[in-house]
Amino acid sequence: MTLWASRAMQAGHSSSLRAHTKAMELLDQCLTSTPTIDLQHQFLIKNAASALASNAAVCAIEKEELEIVVQVLEQGRALLWSQMRGYRHSTEKLQELNPGPAEEFKRVCQQLEHLTVSSGTDLSGMKLIPISTTPYAAHGLNFDAKVTQNRQLSEDYKKIITEIRQLEGFSGFLRATPFSTLQSEGPVILVNVSKHRSDAVILRATETPLLVPLSQHLPAAIHHLSAQLLRVDEINQTEEQRDGPYLPKLVQLSTILEILWLKICEPIADALREMGQPKGSRVWWCPIGRLGALSLHAAGIYTLDMPGDFMLG
């Protein structure tokens, strides 16, 4: 599925963008037919699924198709939002206004959760081979039955969601908030980091998207900062156990936030000023991939006495 996309991108072929967008469409279908969370996770890793949307955005940027950049990043964000959080959702408002669809939705979710999490007994009472330790071919008829059952439940799941979204006030049920909605409350800033290139795209309600190229060394910097952040957490846990001082953690964290500011946020802040965006305006950060684990909204140059440059989101 991803082979065409990766080979086309390596060769700089004109079909690269189409290959990536097609792969993202097929990804959703493949996840639907994968019966356990364990296998879904393995599938995503094997197919480098997390890089699909990011690389698709790179292809679109190189074609100067910024609207397509927005579309593919939103598609990837919505896909992961809907598929990888499991089947437990809050239905309080739906239950209050539309109890029938709410009960049907809960029923399907409970059966899907049981099917995807359980590796002992399926819904028909058949003993299953543990999913996490057995190759696909060894699952036999029990595995095939589970796949069939999962496919039917997934169809029921999509059907009830479609019905709920047709109800008044529930058109956005289980959807990630669209960029268009966020734009109405302030600029949306997409930050895409890839080994091929890194960029930010600024979206404003009344203007065309603006591309802000970022440092080509950003992927290595993000990898380093992520490792540093893990180290800060380890220090934090150790000091909590010892009831010790927090100064080392504060110093390291301020360094991380300063690097984020200099490499990502400052160029974006400069671009916003050139666009005439008023100082202190609210912005919406939408980091892609590993960057989502870092606190872009808190990036800035700080001292122990007072903050310097920073940009709140």
Q: Are residues 207 and 260 in the same domain?
A: yes
Cα 120 to Cα 131: distance, rounded to the nearest angstrom: 9
Q: Are residues 292 and 195 in the same domain?
A: yes
Question: Does the pLDDT value for residue 111 go beyond 50?
Answer: yes
Q: Are residues 232 and 282 in the same domain?
A: yes
The pLDDT-based confidence of 245 (bands split at 50, 70, 90) is low
pLDDT in tens, 159-189: 999 999 999 988 878 776 666 676 777 788 9
Q: Are residues 77 and 113 in the same domain?
A: no
Side-chain-side CA neighbours of 161 within 13 Å: the count stands at 15
Examine residue 173 and state whether it is found in any structural domain, yes or no. Answer: no
Across the strands, what pairs with 193? 198
Average pLDDT rounded to a whole number, residues 197-217? 91
Which tokens is 60 given? 């679109």
Residue that finishes a domain, picked among 106, 132, 165: 165
- CB neighbour list of residue 36: distance below 8 Å, 6 or more residues apart: 115, 116, 117, 119, 131, 146
The pLDDT-based confidence of 71 (bands split at 50, 70, 90) is confident
Question: Does the pLDDT value for residue 210 go beyond 90?
Answer: yes
Average pLDDT rounded to a whole number, residues 30-42? 63
Question: Does the pLDDT value for residue 248 go beyond 60?
Answer: no
Cα 11 to Cα 16: distance, rounded to the nearest angstrom: 9
Number of domains comprising the chain: 3
Q: Are residues 117 and 149 in the same domain?
A: yes
Question: Alpha carbon of 87 to those of 39, 109, 261: distances in Å?
Answer: 16, 5, 37
pLDDT in tens, 147-158: 788 788 888 988
The pLDDT-based confidence of 220 (bands split at 50, 70, 90) is very high
Question: Does the pLDDT value for residue 141 go beyond 50?
Answer: no
Residue positions counted in the chain = 313
Across the strands, what pairs with 189? 202, 285
Confidence at residue 108, expressed as pLDDT on a 0 to 100 scale = 86
Confidence at residue 271, expressed as pLDDT on a 0 to 100 scale = 95
Q: Are residues 209 and 306 in the same domain?
A: yes
Amino acid at 79: L
What average pLDDT does the chain have? 76
Question: Does the pLDDT value for residue 125 go beyond 50?
Answer: no
Which tokens is 7 given? 């080979």
**Domain ranges, residue 245:** 186-310
DSSP calls for the chain = --HHHHHHHHHT-TTHHHHHHHHHHHHHHHHHT--SHHHHHHHHHHTTTHHHHHHHHHHHHHTT-HHHHHHHHHHHHHHHHHHTT-S----HHHHHH-HHHHHHHHHHHHHHHHHHH-SSB-TT--B---GGGS-GGGGHHHHHHHHHHHHHHHHHHHHHHHHHHTSTT-TTTT-PPPHHHHHTTS-EEEEEE-SS-EEEEEEETTEEEEEEE--TTHHHHHHHHHHHHHHHHHHHHHHHHHT---HHHHHHHHHHHHHHIIIIIHHHHHHHHHTTPPTT---EEEE-GGGGGS-GGG-EEE-SS-EEEE---
Q: Are residues 144 and 216 in the same domain?
A: no
Examine residue 180 and state whether it is found in any structural domain, yes or no. Answer: no
Q: Are residues 33 and 118 in the same domain?
A: no
Examine residue 11 and state whether it is found in any structural domain, yes or no. Answer: yes
Minimum mean pLDDT among 6-20, 58-72, 85-99, 290-304: which range?
85-99
The pLDDT-based confidence of 104 (bands split at 50, 70, 90) is very high
Question: Does the pLDDT value for residue 139 go beyond 50?
Answer: no
Average pLDDT rounded to a whole number, residues 198-209? 88
Examine residue 172 and state whether it is found in any structural domain, yes or no. Answer: no
Cα 152 to Cα 33: distance, rounded to the nearest angstrom: 9
Q: Are residues 248 and 135 in the same domain?
A: no
Cα 108 to Cα 265: distance, rounded to the nearest angstrom: 43
Question: Does the pLDDT value for residue 127 go beyond 60?
Answer: no
Question: Does the pLDDT value for residue 128 go beyond 60?
Answer: no
Examine residue 211 and state whether it is found in any structural domain, yes or no. Answer: yes
Residue that finishes a domain, picked among 48, 83, 118: 83
Examine residue 256 and state whether it is found in any structural domain, yes or no. Answer: yes
Question: Does the pLDDT value for residue 126 go beyond 50?
Answer: no
Examine residue 170 and state whether it is found in any structural domain, yes or no. Answer: no
Q: Quote the longest CA-to-CA distance of the chain.
A: 67
Cα 72 to Cα 288: distance, rounded to the nearest angstrom: 11
Examine residue 181 and state whether it is found in any structural domain, yes or no. Answer: no
The pLDDT-based confidence of 26 (bands split at 50, 70, 90) is confident
Residue that finishes a domain, picked among 23, 50, 83: 83
